[in-house]
Chains A and B, each alone.
Chain A
Amino acid sequence: MSGYYLQLMTNGIIAGAVYALFAVGLTLVYGVFRFINFAHGELIAWGAYLTLAFSALIPFGAAIFPAVAVTVLIALAQERYVYAPLRKKAGITLLIASIGLSYFLRNGLRLLWGSDLKSFGFEAARGLVFFGITVSRTQIAMFLAALIFLGFVWGLHKFTMLGKGLRAAADSLELAEIVGIDMKKIGRAVWIISAVFAASGGILIAIDTNLEPMMGIANLLKAFAAVLLGGAGNVWGALLGGLFIGIAENLGVAFFSPGYKDAISFALIIAILLFKPTGIFAIMKGMR
């Protein structure tokens, strides 16, 4: 019986690591630009679908690179043609524009690839068993990739000028500009990191399961919950938040109807916002 809960827990941690990947991108953008990018979810889906498209031409392993590169271009185009021109306007304008953008990109996926479920076509393989807990190879890859990416962000934050700039910008955009930090460069870096993380996470999820046009928005809502748990703009909080959501929704199914699996993260969003809007894991303030 306890094996059952351990297994649920393991699945939760792995799912949570990927949510964290999405949440970090979302929270970095929020930290610098102070707005919630609703179109972030579409970067997840486009990363996966582009890999599918490129893998028809070149081997799968090689297809990932152009796919991630094009996703980064989409993100930079978003910034350049939509978000940057709107930056000086009221917050609602930016928010509605990002909702519109997300709807546009999602329907673009449906137009190009149809609403049907797609698959990379990997054969199903028996999972590996450790101490009675089964994990698939993809799940292990997902977890490792998440660790490597998050380690990269940690190094970036801690050891580079860019990281210092990020932190400064998160504290105060104006002050950062005054002391001569090149905000254009920082902004670009944030979008690139955000898009690379989203696309990679999307590809991993698609390898693990399938591709479908709604995959972006479904994961975006989880990422929202993770960001809010961690306190917006807080990278480490996003990581912990992601793990928490992953575990909560997987363990929750043991007690509720599986129909409410998604509801767990929505309920968490509301609960956090109501009771502790600064986030539960808003520790390590200096790392913001």
Chain B
Amino acid sequence: MKRLLALALCLVALPCAALAPAADEVVVGSITPLSGKLAVYGEGFQQAMLLALDEVNAAGGINGKLMRIHYEDNNSTAKDSVSAIQKLITVNKLPVIFGPAASSNFLAVCPIAQENKAILIGAESAAADITKCGDYVFRIFPSDELQGKGAAELAVSMGYKEVVLTYINNDWGVGLGRVFKDNFVKAGGKIIDEFSHDEGKTDYRTEILRIKKHSPRAAVNLTYIKEGATMLKQSYETGLKTQWLMGSASKSPKLVELAGEAAEGVIGTYPTFSQETPQYKHFKEVWAKKYPEKKVPVFGEYNYDMVHIIAKALRASKSYASQDIRAALIEAAKGYMGVTGDKTFDKNGDVGAVYGKWTVKTGNIADYRP
């Protein structure tokens, strides 16, 4: 029993000993999916953030102090996101935290951030509900409210009056599906059939047959990369001929890599920004220099902008107390033109966006021009 007690004491003492804050740096927290099902994306987010961080520190850091990002893994789950934010707020005592990917994880932590007046910023969480999180929650990424509208407008503008709607059964897909449906029906469209499909399955033939049964001219499929690729491939085999309309989350070279010829001709919407701006050209250049063998990851530009905006706010802030940083952040973002365009926050801490259309043409993702 004594040995057990000693063991327990060690377990308790270790976490407390591991903390030693350095005075000459400014630390920002980040909850990033480094493991679990979103780890595929997490690595890219991290690389984009580190790229911006290098630039910030090369340009003198935060008024002479080095800026550092403290990463906490959230295992891609809500439970671990909550643990991670509790730790960042209470143990590391960080006033600014980059929120986790996946809207469900973000929504799980945002009441905690709001309650404790810690600034929470997201670079890839799209759910419309996040708008209501509170005045300490911001995001660099546009709300799905905008994308749902964009997708509905796309379908209407292409002359599709009746579509089959399917969406991935997770927070993102369900939320976006709802906004799409509302807007599409309002614009006079009709949803012939609507169903969700599970995440991470390998066989979607039955789902595809269900679409095929209606032989619709267009099918709206709001899904992720791997699910999208599998569905495209299998519908190609099944001989389903329909115009696929997709969302932003499946816009990736990986989709084409996995689905091959079956991805040809897909059209989708995505929040866009001009690739002609000097900011974008600069980003492309530094990315290629730091990670020569890697393509720019999904949402990489947003993560890059996020770090730069925060750095700007921290430099201008009166102190490192969160209410001062918050005021400085709103000021810093006003009219800020980042890689991803104008990042001025509205009163809910959301940014606006322009929606573009993408398509797959001869094995490449390209902008869609009718």
- Using CB atoms and an 8 Å cutoff, list the residues of chain A in contact with chain B: 1, 4, 7-8, 11, 15, 114-117, 119, 123-127, 129, 134, 136, 205, 208-210, 212, 214-215, 218, 250, 253-254, 257-259, 261-262
Cβ 8 A contact of B237, one of A15, A115, A127, A215: A127
| Contacting residues, chain B, for A117 (C-beta < 8 A) | 225-226, 229, 258
Chosen A-B contacts, 26 in total, with CB atoms closer than 8 Å, are A4-B209, A15-B203, A115-B35, A116-B39, A116-B226, A117-B226, A119-B258, A124-B232, A124-B233, A124-B259, A124-B262, A127-B238, A127-B239, A134-B239, A136-B237, A208-B202, A209-B202, A210-B258, A250-B206, A254-B210, A258-B195, A258-B196, A259-B196, A261-B198, A261-B206, A262-B198
- For B205, list chain A residues within 8 Å (CB): 11, 250
B256 CB to nearest A CB, Å: 11
Contact at A126–B206, with CB atoms within 8 Å? no
Q: Which residue of B lies closest to A14 (CB)?
A: B205
CB of A134 within 8 A of CB of B237, answer yes
A129 touches B239 (CB 8 A): yes
What residue in chain B is nearest A125 (Cβ atoms)?
A: B237
| A126/B203 in contact, CB under 8 A | no
- Additional pairs, 15, CB under 8 Å, beyond known A1-B213, A119-B229, A124-B260: A4-B209, A15-B203, A114-B40, A115-B37, A117-B226, A127-B238, A208-B203, A210-B226, A210-B258, A212-B226, A214-B200, A250-B205, A258-B196, A258-B210, A261-B201
B261 touches A258 (CB 8 A): no
- Inter-chain CA distance A114–B41, complex, in Å, is 12
**A8-B209, A115-B37, A205-B202 given as contacts; is B261 within 8 A of A124 (CB)?**
yes
Q: A7 — nearest CB in chain B belongs to which residue?
A: B209
Contact check, A253 vs B206: say whether CB atoms are below 8 A apart.
Answer: yes
- Given known A115-B36, A126-B237, contact A212–B202 (CB-CB < 8 A): yes
B161: Cβ under 8 A from any A Cβ: no
Please measure, in the bound complex, the distance between the C-alpha atom of A126 and the C-alpha atom of B264, giving whole angstroms: 14
Q: Does B207 contact A (CB under 8 A)?
A: yes
Q: Chain A nearest CB: distance from B92 CB in Å?
A: 27
- Give chain B residues whose Cβ lies under 8 Å from the Cβ of A257: 195-196
Q: How far is the CB of B171 from chain A (nearest CB, A)?
A: 14
Q: Is B169 located at the chain interface by the 8 A CB criterion? A: yes
- Chain B residues with CB below 8 A from A7, complex form: 209
B284 contacts chain A at the CB level, 8 A cutoff: no
The chain A residue with its CB closest to the CB of B197 is A258
> Is B30 at the interface (CB under 8 A from chain A)?
no
CB neighbours (8 Å) of A214 from chain B are 200
Q: How many residues of B contact A (CB 8 A)?
A: 37
Q: Given B169, B210, B230, B232, which contacts A253 in the complex, CB threshold below 8 Å? A: B210
Whether a CB of chain A sits under 8 angstroms from the CB of B236 is yes
Q: What separation, in Å, do the CA atoms of A198 and B273 have in the docked complex?
A: 49
Distance, CA A114 to CA B169, complexed state (A) = 23
Q: Which residues of B contact A (CB under 8 A)?
A: 35-37, 39-40, 169, 195-198, 200-203, 205-207, 209-210, 212-213, 225-226, 229-230, 232-234, 236-239, 258-262
Contacts of B237 in A (CB 8 A): 124-127, 134, 136
Are A11 and B206 interface neighbours, CB within 8 A? Answer: yes
A257 to B197: give the CA distance in the assembly, Å. Answer: 9
CA distance A74 to B239 in the complex (A): 40
B236 touches which of A126, A208, A262 (Cβ 8 Å): A126
B-side contacts of A119, CB under 8 Å: 229, 258
Q: Give Cα A257 to B207, complex, Å.
A: 9
B35: chain A residues within 8 A (beta carbon) = 115
Neighbouring A residues of B198 by C-beta, 8 Å? 258-259, 261-262
* Minimum C-beta distance from B244 to chain A (A): 14
- Output the residue of B39, B201, B202, B260 with the most chain A CB within 10 A: B202
Q: For A11, what are the chain B residues with a Cβ–Cβ distance below 8 Å? A: 205-206, 209
Q: What's the Cα separation between A262 and B196 when bound, in Å? A: 14
A7-B209 Cα distance, complex, nearest whole Å: 8
Query: Nearest B residue to A249 by beta-carbon distance?
Result: B206
Would you give the shortest CB distance from B344 to chain A, in whole angstroms? Answer: 36
Please, how many angstroms separate the alpha-carbon atoms of A7 and B237 in the complex?
Answer: 13
Find chain A residues with CB under 8 A from B232 CB: 124
- Measured CB to CB, the nearest residue on chain A to B76 is A115
* Complex Cα–Cα for A126 and B239 (A): 6
Which residues of chain B come closer than 8 Å to A261, judged between CB atoms?
198, 201, 206
A-chain residues with CB within 8 Å of residue B236 when the two chains form the complex: 124-126
Judging by beta carbons under 8 Å apart, are B209 and A114 in contact?
no
Measured CB to CB, the nearest residue on chain A to B236 is: A124
Chain B residues within an 8 Å CB radius of A1? 213
> Closest 6 interchain pairs by CB?
A209-B202, A117-B226, A253-B206, A124-B262, A136-B237, A127-B237
Q: A114 to B35, alpha carbons, bound, how many Å?
A: 9
Q: Which residues does chain B contribute within 8 Å of A262, judged by CB atoms?
A: 198
Contact residues in A for B238 (Cβ distance below 8 Å)? 127, 134
Q: Nearest chain A CB to B253's CB is how many angstroms away?
A: 14
CB neighbours (8 Å) of B233 from chain A are 124
B116 CB to closest chain A CB (Å) equals: 32
Inter-subunit contact B259/A210 (CB<8 Å): no
Please measure, in the bound complex, the distance between the C-alpha atom of A129 and the C-alpha atom of B237, giving whole angstroms.
10
**B residues near A129, Cβ cutoff 8 Å:** 239
